[in-house]
Structure 1
């Protein structure tokens, strides 16, 4: 989720790119516990996708998925609100609270596109994307059209959260672009970075390809040349 804070901290000086990367990827005090939770979540997704590919969506139950992983349905619902979410591997586009707080107050740089990049990088750095997962998900959506509606609803929910964050920032540091447009930009940057990662033979992680995607967007926004003369 994207919680918008009611108490806003001071805006820090703009960190260097290396500093932003180090801060984004620094382990938390609860790192071991988080890794265990992540491993269990991934096991649930893998079991859900494998079973549905084998047997079809309608014949697989939450209990079946739990039996494969060795957890209870209660544990399952601590990770996913529904079977469809597990099959799609959906998770919150989580931005760390401190990143949200800094962004809402107008930081870390004060430049909207630069600060958007920090937010998107924070989301991408926490995502788990593997070629196998991506291939399975695409196959499942093709086989089970019902899953498309759930994915659309998931996107819409996060769009609304992003809009809320942008509205909060605009109240502190006014800007021109519509928050709805900015939400679409964020979703596009997430998608484009993942596509770039795929096209570059999956070198590194999707977050590593975000700066190049943002540079392309920046070039588009600053290209004020008129049409080339004919003849």
Structure 2
């Protein structure tokens, strides 16, 4: 009975988080993010402002969450799900690329919001930091390394590389162009920024004596 109650509670929390982020993005697109208050988002989602603050610390965070949609959990799970004989560098890079592009690129209107509002741009890029801890856990599990610093350093390095790729991808467009054109294809940018980390992953995997193809 306790397990069932816990499961229902988690489902309710997930539903509330989803309602808040969907309301935040919808209102931002309709009114412009500068004209959306936390109270407006909470009301649209059917919860109190106090409840809103249990999930998000700002309107920007809620708006961006509608685009990223629990990516940190999915990245860690994608690495953990790779077969044990897959090269660790490949497992991590493929997981990052897949999860950052699994739902397709954000639509034009969303890109316009992100690229033209510094606070939203920064919040979107900052979401990369959320993948660090789940990714460190997944890397540590695959390495089976008693030294926890290796997995954390590798995960932090991946986070930095992802931020660089996102910054490049979301470079400001020329003034008055009226277009939102990301700079380069995101999968290629991610692979390019993550590639320099492959030797470090290979070295860590070699020390762990885990076989890979």
TM-score if structure 1 supplies the norm length?
A: 0.49
Which aligned pairs between 1:1-231 and structure 2 lie closer than 5 A?
44-48=24-28, 50-51=30-31, 53-55=33-35, 57=37, 60-63=40-43, 66=44, 73=46, 81-82=55-56, 84=59, 85-89=61-65, 90-93=68-71, 94-95=73-74, 99-103=78-82, 106-108=84-86, 110=87, 112-127=88-103, 128-130=105-107, 132-137=109-114, 142=119, 157-171=130-144, 178-198=150-170, 201-202=181-182, 205-217=185-197
Deviation at 1:193, TM superposition (A): 2.7
Structure 2 gaps of 5+ residues are: 1-17, 174-180, 202-213
Structure 1 gaps of 5+ residues are: 1-37, 67-71, 222-231
Aligned length: 162
Deviation at 1:42, TM superposition (A): 5.9
Name segments (4+ residues, structure 1) moved above 6 Å. Answer: 173-177
Deviation at 1:134, TM superposition (A): 4.6
Change (3 A) 1:190 1:86: same
Q: Which has the higher contact order (CA 8 A, sep 6+)?
A: 1
Does the CA-based 8 Å contact 1:49-1:87 persist in structure 2? no
TM-score if structure 2 supplies the norm length?
A: 0.52
Does the CA-based 8 Å contact 1:189-1:213 persist in structure 2? yes
Distance, in Å, in 1 between the alignment partners of 2:118 and 2:184 is 26
